[in-house]
């Protein structure tokens, strides 16, 4: 089935550890996004990629890096995890240059102790 | 001030009730409007997508857009326990810029 797949679904880290969250899509969309979702804060954009080889910062990029590996895959890396990065992370895709909706994965629930 | 405002609720209604969910926005550049439904521990899934002012109906769901008042609504008729979820409004200016409300938590009590 077409869609957006995120791995892992759950992860617990210690402060200072590093981790990469993976996102893969088979919707043939050019644009991919990483959001974090926190209670009362809604979805906040971390980074996005309008096409393979390009990435741009969103609203809350500090403490994160991204890699657009190819058209299908967009990864989010935490180099030195902090408790403030405890959140649910969502990947989304979009057909670049259109006003079509975004499509989301089911998220990665990340806890940092 | 946020560009998109949404009452977080929570909202609790009896089964069969009509539910009204609302968002306001401040920028007239928003052209396309969406409602997403998010079940617990799942990602947002697209429920309704509309462009023009007026109503768009899909089964028990009606999306309403009033561009003059910068106000959008989602109505759920004959609400069911399976409608219990968080509902997010979203809108696009142009291209790749998406803006989301914070979500309204809805519980439909059997």
- pLDDT tens column, A5-29: 999 999 999 999 999 999 999 999 9
The beta-carbon neighbor of A99 closest among B8, B32, B36 is B32
> Is residue A1 over pLDDT 70?
no
Q: Which residues touch A98 (CB under 8 Å, ≥6 apart)? A: none
Distance, first Cα to last Cα, chain A: 35
For chain A, give the percent of residues with pLDDT over 70: 98
Confidence at residue A71, expressed as pLDDT on a 0 to 100 scale: 94
Q: Do B94 and A99 touch (CB under 8 A)?
A: yes
Q: Hey, is B56 helix, strand or coil?
A: strand
Q: Which residue has the higher pLDDT, B100 or A98?
A: B100
Cα-based distances in Å from A111 to A12, A83, B85: 5, 8, 23
Position with higher pLDDT, A69 vs A46: A46
Is the pLDDT score of B2 beyond 90?
Answer: no
Lowest mean pLDDT among A71-80, A89-98, B101-110: A89-98
Q: Contacts by B2-6 with C-beta closer than 8 Å and gap 24+?
A: B2/B26, B3/B27, B3/B99, B4/B89, B4/B90, B4/B91, B4/B99, B4/B100, B4/B101, B5/B101, B6/A42, B6/B88, B6/B89, B6/B101, B6/B102, B6/B103, B6/B104
> How confident is the model over A80-107, as pLDDT tens digits?
999 999 999 999 999 887 778 899 999 9
At residue A106, φ and ψ (nearest 5 deg) are -90, 0
Strands A19-25 and A31-38: unpaired
Q: Do A4 and B46 lie within an 8 Å CB cutoff?
A: no
> What's the mean pLDDT in B46-68?
92
Contacts of B103 in chain A (CB under 8 A): 42
Instruction: Produce one character per residue of B22-60: b if its CB has 16 or more CB atoms within 10 Å, e if not.
Output: bbbbeeeebebbbbbbbeeeebbeebbbbeeeeeeeeee
Mean of the per-residue pLDDT values of chain B:
93
pLDDT over 80 (residue A65): yes
Contact A90 B43 (CB under 8 A): yes
Per-residue confidence band for B51, with pLDDT thresholds at 50, 70 and 90? confident
Nearest to B96 among A41, A42, A50 (CB): A50
- A43 vs B88: CB contact, 8 Å cut-off? yes
- Using a CB–CB cut-off of 8 Å, the residues of B that contact A are 6, 8, 31-32, 34, 36, 41-46, 49, 51, 88, 90, 92, 94-96, 98, 100-103
What rounded mean pLDDT belongs to chain A? 94
> What mean pLDDT is predicted for residues B9-17?
95
How far apart CA A37 and CA A32 sit, in angstroms, is: 16
């Amino acid at each position: 089935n077409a869609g957006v797949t995120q791995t892992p679904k759950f992860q617990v880290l210690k402060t200072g550890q590093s981790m990469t969250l993976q996102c893969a899509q088979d919707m043939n969309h050019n644009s991919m996004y990483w959001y974090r979702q926190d209670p009362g804060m809604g979805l906040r954009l971390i980074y996005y990629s309008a096409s393979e080889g390009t990435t741009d910062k969103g609203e809350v990029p500090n403490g994160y890096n991204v890699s657009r590996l190819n058209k299908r895959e967009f990864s989010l890396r935490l180099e030195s995890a902090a408790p403030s990065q405890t959140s649910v992370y969502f990947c989304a895709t979009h057909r670049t240059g259109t006003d079509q909706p975004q499509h989301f994965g089911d998220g990665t629930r990340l806890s940092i102790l | 001030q946020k560009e998109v405002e949404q009452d977080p609720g929570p909202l609790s209604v009896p089964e069969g009730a009509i539910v009204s969910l609302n968002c306001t926005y401040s920028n007239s550049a928003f052209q396309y409007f969406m409602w997403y439904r998010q079940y617990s521990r799942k990602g947002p899934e697209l429920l309704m997508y509309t462009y023009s002012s007026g109503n768009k109906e899909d089964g028990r769901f009606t999306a309403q857009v009033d561009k003059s008042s910068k106000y959008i609504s989602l109505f759920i008729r004959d609400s069911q326990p399976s409608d219990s979820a968080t509902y997010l409004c979203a809108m696009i200016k142009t291209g790749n810029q998406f803006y989301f409300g914070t979500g309204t938590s809805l519980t439909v009590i059997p």
